[in-house]
Amino acid sequence: MNEITFAVLGTGGIGRRALEVSQHKDALTPVAACDRHGVAVDFDGLDVDELLAATEGNIDNEVATDGGTGATTAESGVKQHGERKGVVASSQARPSEDPIQEVIDHGDRIDAVLLALPNYEHDFIPRTADRFAEGDYSGVMIDVLKRSRVIDMLDDRSEAFEDAGITFICGAGATPGLLTGAAALAAQSFVEVTDIDIWWGVGLKSGYEDNRGTVREDIAHLPEYDIETARELSEDEIEAIIDDHDGVIEFEDMEHADDVLLERAGICDAEDVEVGGILDVRNDEKPTTTTVRVTGRTFDGETATNTFQLGDETSMEANVNGPALGYLKAGVRRNRAGEYGVFGPADLMPGF
C-alpha cells in the first residue's frame, strides 16, 4: 500500500475529527474538505491544524434540504464565530456554489472520499454517490451512516459502482462499523450465530455542540419520531426533548444498519441483531459500557457468548474515526485490487 489521499465531505463533528485522527496515521493525506459553503483543496496535504483552528465553533449543523447539489444558501444553524461561515473560515478554503462538484472534478487524485454527512435525507448519501459515479470518479467512497434502509439504496447502485470502479464502504463508523466488525470477528468461533446484541453508551457533554447533528439523528430513533419529523425539529424542540429525558435518552430496538450489514456478510439473519443504547448529553462519562455480545453454537455443539467491550474512557469520536479510517484503508486495498461495489464492515473482516 502506498500513500492514500482522501477528501472529507462535511466538516461537522465527524469530518473534523476524521481530519484530526488522520494526522496520526502514516501514509494518509487529507487533500480536500468541504461543507456546503465552500471547499479546501491541497494535494500537498491540507494544513489540518489551521483548518480546525480557523473553523472551531464554526460548525454547520443545518439540515441540508438541497439534496446534495450544494446550492443551498440557508444560513440558520451555522455556528459562526468569524466573518465567514463553515469551512471557508479557513484560509485554505474558498466559497463555492457547488463544493461537492469541485471534489468530484479533482477525483482522479483522490483515493477515498469520506462522506461525513449525518442527518440529511435518507437518499442524500446515495444521491451524492450517484454524482461521483456520473462524474467518472473511480475510487473509494465511505460513509458512517446508521440507517438500515440506506444500505438497500446503495445496493441498488451496486452495478453502477462496479461500472464506475467505485468501492463503496457503508456504515463504517462505531456502530455500525467498529462494533459490526467486532461482531463478525467474534462470530468466527461459531458455526451458527443465534443472537447479536449491540448496546452502546455515549456521554457527550463536551462534544455536544459539535455533534448536534448526531443527536438529532439519534432522536429520530425514538418511538415517537422518525427521520422526517426529527429533521423538522427546531433546536429549541430538541432541547425540550433532552430536558424531558433529564439529558439521558435510552434507545431500544433501533433501526441500525448493523442488522443488514451482518446479514449481507452471512453472519446471521438481520432479525437476530438487536441494537440499543443510552445517550447522555450532560455528562462525558458513558452512562453504560458499550458492549457487543455474539451468541452462537459451536461446531461441537456448545452454546456460548463472545463479548467485545469498549473502555468507558473511549469517546464516541475515537470509536468512530479510528475505525472509519481503518475501513477506508481496507477499502482502498480492495479498490486497487479491482473489487468494486458495495461493502459493509463485516464484508471487510476475515470470515465465512
What is the DSSP track for 174-234?
Answer: TTTBHHHHHHHHHGGG-SEEEEEEEEEEEE-TTTTGGGHHHHHHHHTTSTT--HHHHHT--
329 is catalytic: no
Contact window for a copy of itself (CB under 8 A) among 40-48, 53-61, 132-140, 190-198: 190-198
CB-based contacts of 134, cutoff 8 Å, min separation 6: none
Task: Give all strands (DSSP E) within the chain, no chain letters.
Answer: 4-9, 28-34, 38-41, 93-95, 112-115, 140-143, 167-169, 192-203, 248-251, 273-280, 291-297, 303-309, 341-343
Would the annotation count 11 as a binding residue? yes
345 binds a copy of itself (CB under 8 A): yes
Among 46, 306, 342, 344, binds a copy of itself (CB under 8 A): 306
Among 15, 181, 201, 277, binds a copy of itself (CB under 8 A): 181
Report the SS3 class of residue 151: helix
The least distance separating a copy of itself from the CB of residue 28, rounded to whole angstroms, comes to 7
The span from the first CA to the last CA of the chain, in angstroms, equals: 25
Our CB check for a copy of itself shows the closer of 90 and 290 to be: 290
Distance of CA 320 to the CA centre of its chain: 7
Would the annotation count 214 as a binding residue? yes
**Which residue among 146, 256, 286, 329 is the active-site one?**
146
Quickly tell me which residue has 485490487 as its cell.
Answer: 337
Would the annotation count 247 as a binding residue? no
Are 288 and 277 a contacting pair, CB within 8 Å? yes
Applying CB under 8 A, what is the total number of residues that bind a copy of itself? Answer: 57
21 binds a copy of itself (CB under 8 A): yes
The least distance separating a copy of itself from the CB of residue 85, rounded to whole angstroms, comes to 25
**Which residue among 62, 85, 102, 221 is the active-site one?**
221
Would the annotation count 68 as a binding residue? no
221 is catalytic: yes
217 is catalytic: yes
Interior CA angle at 115 toward 161 and 23, to 5°?
Answer: 120
352 binds a copy of itself (CB under 8 A): yes
Would the annotation count 12 as a binding residue? yes
Footprint of a copy of itself (CB under 8 A): 17, 20-21, 24-26, 28, 178, 181-182, 185-186, 188-192, 266, 295, 298-300, 302-315, 317-319, 321-323, 325-327, 329-330, 334, 337-339, 345, 348-352
